[in-house]
A and B are shown apart, each in its own frame.
Chain A
């Protein structure tokens, strides 16, 4: 921990960019505008000054936000301390002193929201392992400063556990990266339209429109525009989020970049990947497309002030299976998923899962345990033995009658569940026992 390299030395306290308070106030503009228009319309119409009042309200609020933002800007400093950890002091009324242990660094993301991008600024999001307040956001730095800070953080973190990161193919220097895959926007759009949920929602929307028009005449279409628009809105949201998706390999891991209005850049260090899932909804099967979901330690469940997930748990939103497997191989080196022999479940399982039972299977090799499930949406979940948190065998009354039981491998929080359903009870228990042993062996050789 006290291994102080050249990169691990103390630095002077620094501030974020001086334009930050203004940029921050402007990001709140849409919300303020809506509120001000409502205010102007309600009060202003009484005194006959809708527009001036609305403008006054907007300007007033912006000035207020910028002023408080300026105050907090003057009180926020960050630096690296003697141990090489990042320190952030902030707060006007309540002072907060935070220390982010770089030995536990998970990801450093650079985000460029639309308004902020106009100023040439970036937001830096730093995430460390641990519960609760494990995330720090610095608003805002110039793009060059943000990149430099990220490189600095990653270098210092790498110095902390140079010995534990898996040996990786030689990649010359930090910051250098090469593209390994992109998701064409056309494919992304089609894949979203072909999701079962989407098809259902569109049908529902059509139904709602038809019923409303029949009931209340064409005038009701206005209502439909609002209610029926929601399904499509979520679709558009996802499209905007994953627009121009690129995956590049860098020294620190896979770097994912995506976003139309807000460019997100996220690094997935291979050592932090806890579990992986290849997911393929019904209408993707023919095209052989899959989405790759991830469980990453400590991230993927955090939300920002807007309630949006800050760090996505998607490695690739949609890719042909071969390409997806090549990308997976970068985070799980030495694993050939298609070479792993899967064993299915006995036919008695059909009484518990009449459609799914043929798809249920599980298997393992020296590195990973995998399970297959899902009737319409196919799911292949993969967990490295060394990432096994605990193992469970479970059985309900109906399964008991059939002499079956389910075996689960617990992973950290995230979208991926590893469950080998409906195995013969004795076999499920045997699998659990073996998995516990494999996990122990893998952990020893890992550490």
Chain B
């Protein structure tokens, strides 16, 4: 198991974790979606035609799912990381579906920052790297604005400097 994990987060690289604020952001979104779920479960109790056992079962499922997702969010956010190396930047993420992306500086075409209202309230930003390939999809969420801006400027400068056309 250890060497499998090493494959996605090789030791010896200068890994940087993302902000724990991202956990808060994602948990808030989770809680917001759960308002709908709770409403649905409550409705089950209100309708006399629904057997009580089903309503209770739904409650249990909803509670377990909530707790499980709550914990999972923490682990998932901690699985994000990036490492700036000499020639490229590494981005790793995921628990169930793991991925590691290697983007050479010379291939970066665009570095985007974006933050939704919740992100802004919590002071985090998502950084997105673009290459000429649509499949690259390397984004780093949960960066504090100053780190994100610094990283973007560094990456953009390196991209410019190493740019090799197509």
Q: Footprint of B on A, CB under 8 Å?
A: 129, 164, 272, 274, 297-298, 386-397, 400, 403, 405, 408, 410-413, 417, 425-426, 428-429, 432-433, 436-437, 439-440, 443, 446-447
Contacts and interface: CB of A to CB of B under 8 A. Distances in A.
B164 interface: yes
B132 A440 contact: no
Contacts of B3: 425-426
Contacts of B104: 388, 390, 436, 439-440, 443
B138 A395 contact: no
A388 B138 CA distance: 15
Contacts of A164: 165
Given A272-B166, A432-B100, A446-B164, 9 more contacts: A388-B107, A390-B104, A393-B8, A395-B8, A397-B96, A405-B7, A412-B132, A436-B87, A440-B88
B46 to A, nearest CB: 38
Nearest to A394: B99
Interface string B12-27: 0000000000000000
A443 B103 CA distance: 13
Contact of A440 (B106, B135, B136): B106
Contacts of A412: 132-134, 166
Contact of A447 (B6, B99, B164): B164
Q: Which secondary structure characterizes the binding site on chain B?
A: mixed
B59 interface: no
A164 B135 CA distance: 27
30 contacts: A164-B165, A274-B166, A297-B132, A297-B166, A386-B164, A389-B107, A389-B136, A390-B133, A390-B136, A392-B99, A393-B8, A395-B7, A400-B98, A405-B7, A405-B98, A408-B135, A410-B135, A410-B136, A412-B134, A413-B133, A426-B4, A429-B10, A432-B100, A433-B102, A436-B87, A436-B104, A439-B104, A440-B87, A443-B104, A446-B164
A394 B6 contact: no
Most central of B6, B97, B132, B138 by chain A CB within 10 Å:
B132
A129 B166 contact: yes
B23 to A, nearest CB: 22
Contacts of A389: 107, 131-133, 136
A426 B4 CA distance: 6
B13 to A, nearest CB: 10
Nearest to A419: B135
Contact of B99 (A388, A395, A436): A395
Contacts of A397: 96-97
Interface-central residue, A390, A392, A436, by most chain B CB under 10 Å: A390
A272 B134 CA distance: 17
Nearest to B92: A393
Contacts of B98: 394-395, 400, 405
A408 B137 CA distance: 12
A347 B87 CA distance: 35
A390 B101 contact: yes
Interface string B107-150: 10000000000000000000000011111101000000000000
Given A405-B7, A429-B10, A436-B88, A392 B100 contact: yes
Contacts of B7: 393, 395, 405, 425-426, 428-429
With most chain A CB atoms within 10 A of its CB, the pick from B8, B135, B164 is B135
Q: Which 6 A-B pairs have the closest CB atoms?
A: A410-B133, A389-B133, A429-B7, A389-B131, A391-B102, A425-B7
Contacts of A439: 104
Nearest to A436: B102
A298 B133 CA distance: 10
